[in-house]
Structure 1
Amino acid sequence: MTTTTSTTTVPGSAALARACNRSLFTKTLYDNRRVFTVWAVATGLLAMMYAGFYPQINADTMAAVPEAMRGFGLNDTTTAAGYLQGAVFGLLVPLLVTFYGAATGARMISADEDSGYLDLLLAHPISRTRLLLHRYAALATGAAVIAAAVLGALLAIRTSAGLDTITIAGFTAQALNLALLSLLFGALATAIGAVTGAGRAIVFGTTAGLGVATYALHGFAPQIGADWLRYLTPFHYYIGGQPLTHGFQPADIAILTVTTTVLIAAGAWRLNHRDLGR
């Protein structure tokens, strides 16, 4: 008498095991390729569109800017650097990359824990720290692609839009700070999810809310005579040194980088010590 034993395989588990054995980073990158592409294309096109309006700016434009908006970088629209610092890198673009970091960071740990997929991942030979770092590395790659798209878009119209007074180094420095800003909020969302085990919606809402609050604080602080409050926000270190004009600002870059590193380290430490069943 012959006994036949059948084995049931969980759909997708074999592919997941192969991915874990190779690189969870490349799998995360591949799974999010469309999301990263959409964010990069949309942000690059938006930056290009607003930068393209510069030739239409005249002397009356500055007078038409509300006083309350001067703190958002719109205090000098007569020069190319001043215009871009306000209209492009001071308004919508930093908010977009903040939301990218919040939305993508919320997916890295929280979405998997919500769905129960995190347990399946950790059943394979991969540590919690490695999981978090691989996921965050994919987020960082997306942030770099977005910053590169913005840089490429602006360099493409640099001559036609009359932006030649800004050096390529200045554009590159501002694009680097843009990527670092996105990485910081991505690290914040990833850390909140890893530390608290909160759901994806809560993590995104909390991170995005903090982003908008610090953005508003940075913009409105001069209006209430409290410029010192700007130093408490990441947006000061993102644009306060005017990288478009002065190029790379090592101190600002270091502060953004160290803050991001601390957030990721805290998230990894807590994830390693937290009972995921609770």
Structure 2
Amino acid sequence: MSRLLPVAVRSLRDSWRGLLAWALGLTAALALYLPLFPSFGSNGSLEEIIATLPPELVDALGYNQIGTGSGYAQATFFGLIGFALIVIATTAWGASASGGAEENGRLELDLAHGIGRVAYVLESALAILVKLVALGIVIGVVVGILNGPSELGLEASGIIAATVALTGLGALSAAAALVAGAVTGRRVAGVAAGAGLAVYGYALQAVANQSEDLAWVERLSPYAWAYSQTPLESGFSWGIAAVWGTAIVFAGAAAFALRARDITG
């Protein structure tokens, strides 16, 4: 294989239909939830509904600021539905790229055609990044289109920051799946690692919200790194950079792990 970036190009070519489906799914979720805000936020009925819920549940779900446009968008999409959809997609991509490829024999075939192990992992990571950027553009554009009609009052800088934070969490789950698949050669291990990291981060954030005494737990949660500074309102933060930086480290660890392991044994 002498083409430039053959693994990345093949991955993108073979997965464009799935990428389109994910883009449509995210668009549908945004179109379903965001336009509902005016009917709730203008008369305070949403806050009245939230007031009937247990305070612990409200804090755990991040619904304490849901009466504002940014709080509503964060609670319904960026912090919940969108987060779940992005993690599901990227975890599947990462697990298939390493453990899945080894299980179905594609990895061994690529290596036999002269693709280096490190190059294989890095090109797979690049393909996932390109797909994530595409989904991020879709999210940012759709939120921008719905911002006015939905009366959310979001700034462009906040939309961009929140989108980068969301896709960063997806990149982190994908990289964790890549690492686990590279270490074990099993797709299920990659799925468990990617999904498990997302659940771990979300759960720690929920625990930290229960008490000021537990606020320190946020420092252990990638979800909190991305969202504790409310990017829809405050823009970019070091926490978002930390999420992306950790994802890059994980991708490098996956390349090292595959290079050090005998995939035929």
TM-score by length of 2: 0.91
After TM superposition, list the pairs within 5 Å mapping 1:133-172 onto structure 2: 133-163=122-152, 165-172=153-160
What is the RMSD computed on CA atoms of the aligned residues?
Answer: 1.7
Aligned pair 1:253/2:236, yes or no? no
Given that residues 177 and 190 in structure 2 are in contact (C-alpha distance below 8 angstroms), is that contact kept between their aligned partners in structure 1? Answer: yes
Q: Secondary structure at the match of 2:79?
A: coil
Q: Secondary structure at the match of 1:109?
A: helix
Q: Which runs of 5+ in 1 are unaligned?
A: 1-16
Q: Secondary structure at the match of 1:160?
A: coil
Name which of 208, 221, 236 aligns with 1:233: 221
Aligned pair 1:25/2:45, yes or no? no
Higher helix share: 2
Given that residues 44 and 146 in structure 1 are in contact (C-alpha distance below 8 angstroms), is that contact kept between their aligned partners in structure 2? Answer: no
Residues 173-209 of structure 1, C-alpha deviations (whole Å, 9 max, x = no match): 1111111111111111011111222x21232133213
After TM superposition, list the pairs within 5 Å mapping 1:153-192 onto structure 2: 153-163=142-152, 165-192=153-180
Residues 34-68 of structure 1, C-alpha deviations (whole Å, 9 max, x = no match): 11111122012202321111101132322322221
Given that residues 45 and 153 in structure 1 are in contact (C-alpha distance below 8 angstroms), is that contact kept between their aligned partners in structure 2? Answer: no
Instruction: Tell me how far 1:103 sits from its aligned partner.
Output: 0.9
Residues 80-127 of structure 1, C-alpha deviations (whole Å, 9 max, x = no match): 111112122121111211111211100111111001221111001211
Instruction: Tell me how far 1:155 sits from its aligned partner.
Output: 1.0
Instruction: Tell me how far 1:23 sits from its aligned partner.
Output: 2.4
Given that residues 104 and 139 in structure 1 are in contact (C-alpha distance below 8 angstroms), is that contact kept between their aligned partners in structure 2? Answer: yes
Partner Cα distance (1:188, 1:22) in 2 = 22
Counterpart residue number, 2:21: 38
Counterpart residue number, 2:108: 119
Q: Secondary structure at the match of 2:147?
A: coil
Partner Cα distance (1:22, 1:160) in 2 = 42
Counterpart residue number, 1:87: 76
TM-score by length of 1: 0.87
Partner Cα distance (1:226, 1:232) in 2 = 11
Aligned pair 1:271/2:258, yes or no? yes
After TM superposition, list the pairs within 5 Å mapping 1:56-71 onto structure 2: 56-57=39-40, 58-65=43-50, 66=53, 67=55, 68-71=57-60
Name which of 21, 29, 52 aligns with 2:35: 52
Given that residues 21 and 125 in structure 1 are in contact (C-alpha distance below 8 angstroms), is that contact kept between their aligned partners in structure 2? Answer: no
Count of residues in Structure 1 that have an aligned counterpart in Structure 2? 258
